[in-house]
A and B are shown apart, each in its own frame.
Chain A
Amino acid sequence: DADVTQTPRNRITKTGKRIMLECSQTKGHDRMYWYRQDPGLGLRLIYYSFDVKDINKGEISDGYSVSRQAQAKFSLSLESAIPNQTALYFCATSEPGTSGGNEQFFGPGTRLTVL
């Protein structure tokens, strides 16, 4: 079974709709992240959470919100979707490596299309 799962895997929605992307992990990691990936722009951090009570904005948080329901669950919401939020969204988890580095493990991704 996958350590980091994301639902849905694909979603097509319309402008103005509210949508939630969900992430669950069985790795037991405290840290969780949401990224979006666009062609030519790479991975950009939307929000990150180091524990249930610690949620922080990333570089592109406008138009998004998150909820950390439990150590294992981290959800991303688009309150009113717009076409430029069409992208591939990844959830990731991490625990500091043996040398202290922030090695991250990614879920399979959600391909979101906003019409």
Chain B
Amino acid sequence: QKEVEQNSGPLSVPEGAIASLNCTYSDRGSQSFFWYRQYSGKSPELIMSIYSNGDKEDGRFTAQLNKASQYVSLLIRDSQPSDSATYLCAVEDSGGYQKVTFGTGTKLQVIP
């Protein structure tokens, strides 16, 4: 059973701070990694994809990948109350068919 682990939180950060969300995964052969944001009662929304080791930046979001440590993270700079949501880490399985395993998510609360 391939696993994707996230701290459920809640992670509370003050407005304007950097929020750091972390994820570990068990499938050593995985090559594709995703971060989704899910507001309460809504559907997941893709915010970042990352495929290579290192950092990938998109606006206030930075995804970081370390395949050797089987670790992926998401940094949110200048956090806003509107960033308050659950963030799902998703990892594409290495065994073909490109199935994706989702973590249970980390709830982020940005305090004004």
User: A residues bordering B, Cβ < 8 Å?
Assistant: 40-43, 45, 48, 50, 56, 58, 90, 94, 96-97, 99-109
Q: Select B102's contact among A43, A48, A94, A100, beta carbons within 8 Å.
A: A43
Inter-subunit contact A108/B42 (CB<8 Å): yes
Inter-subunit contact B43/A101 (CB<8 Å): no
**Distance between B4 CB and nearest chain A CB, rounded to angstroms:** 8
Stretch at the interface among B14-22, B71-79, B91-99: B91-99
User: Please, could you name 5 A-B residue pairs with CB atoms under 8 Å apart, sorted by A?
Assistant: A40-B8, A101-B31, A101-B32, A103-B49, A104-B34
- Measured in the bound complex, the distance between the Cα atoms of B44 and A106 in whole Å is 6
Q: Select A50's contact among B8, B88, B97, beta carbons within 8 Å.
A: B97
Inter-subunit contact B104/A102 (CB<8 Å): no
Inter-subunit contact A100/B43 (CB<8 Å): no
Q: B100 in the interface, Cβ–Cβ < 8 Å?
A: yes
Q: Taking A43-B88, A100-B51 as contacts, is the C-beta distance between A90 and B99 under 8 angstroms? A: no
Q: B57 in the interface, Cβ–Cβ < 8 Å?
A: no
B88: which A residues are within 8 A, CB to CB?
42-43
Inter-subunit contact B43/A99 (CB<8 Å): no
B90: which A residues are within 8 A, CB to CB?
104
Residue of B at shortest CB range from A102?
B98
